[in-house]
């Protein structure tokens, strides 16, 4: 009987690892209209992950070696950066990269996926067209750092207060906040 009990626990553990937990938060369809406006010279990188196997594996996503989020199942996040060339990376037992060109006013959609690996799933980063990505986003939960509330429109003044990375032509060291980053938080004169 103890062998049967051990098998049940093993089966339960396998189900938890394979299904994991889906991201929680407001859904894309509820907050998309509240995304902050892009500043001049900036573009947006939106990373999303559909559900599926390997949900317990939630690796970090980095843009030019700066941590920008985690690949949570059924979730998405975005960052705004100055137009230019960027390298998106993620790693488990292997490191995966995707090169992208960010243009002013445009959004680059990157789909995260997991394929089978020896010990841990291998991350996949696939740049998708808006025609492919946008229909997949509707039910995904927002997991990003920029505060978004379903049903509340953002004002242009609130957009200016959001951190959007270094100003075009300036590169802040990863993890450091500059005075330019904080200037948008000051009240208007």
Read off the pLDDT of residues 68-112 as tens digits, 9 standing for 90 and up. 999 899 999 999 999 999 999 998 888 999 999 999 999 999 999
> In degrees rounded to 5, what are phi and psi of residue 77?
-150, 165
Do 38 and 105 form a contact (C-beta atoms < 8 A)? yes
Residue 152 confidence (pLDDT): 54
pLDDT for the residue numbered 76: 94
> Which tens digits make up the pLDDT trace of 137-188?
999 999 988 777 676 544 443 444 444 454 444 444 444 454 444 444 445 4
Burial profile 165-188: b = 16 or more Cβ within 10 angstroms, e = fewer:
bbbeeeeeeeeeeeeeeeeeeeee
The SS3 assignment for 126 reads strand
* Interatomic CA distance for residues 105 and 87, integer angstroms: 19
Candidates 65, 51, 36, 64; CA nearest to 146 is: 36
Q: How far apart are CA 152 and CA 110, in angstroms?
A: 26
Predicted local distance difference test score (pLDDT) of residue 18: 45
Could you state, in order of their start, the residue ranges of all structural domains in the chain? 17-168+179-183
CA dist 165 and 67 (Å) reads 12
Query: Which is it for strands 84-91 and 60-63: parallel, antiparallel or unpaired?
Result: antiparallel
């Amino acid at each position: 009987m103890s062998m049967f009990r051990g098998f049940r626990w093993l089966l339960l553990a396998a189900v938890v690892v394979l299904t994991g937990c889906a991201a929680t938060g407001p859904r894309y369809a509820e907050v998309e209209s509240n995304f902050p406006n892009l500043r001049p010279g900036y573009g947006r990188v939106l990373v999303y992950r559909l559900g599926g196997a390997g949900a317990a594996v939630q690796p970090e996503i980095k843009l030019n070696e700066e941590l920008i989020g985690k690949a949570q199942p059924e979730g998405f996040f975005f960052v705004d950066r100055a137009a230019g060339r960027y390298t998106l990376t993620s790693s488990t037992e292997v490191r995966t990269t995707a090169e992208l060109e960010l243009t002013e006013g445009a959004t680059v959609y990157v789909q995260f996926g997991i394929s089978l690996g020896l010990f841990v799933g291998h991350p996949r980063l696939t740049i998708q067209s808006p025609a492919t990505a946008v229909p997949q986003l509707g039910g995904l939960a927002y997991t990003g750092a920029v505060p978004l509330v379903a049903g509340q429109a953002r004002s242009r003044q609130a957009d200016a207060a959001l951190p959007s990375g270094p100003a075009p032509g300036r590169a802040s060291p990863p993890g450091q906040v500059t005075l330019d980053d904080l200037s948008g938080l000051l009240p208007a004169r």
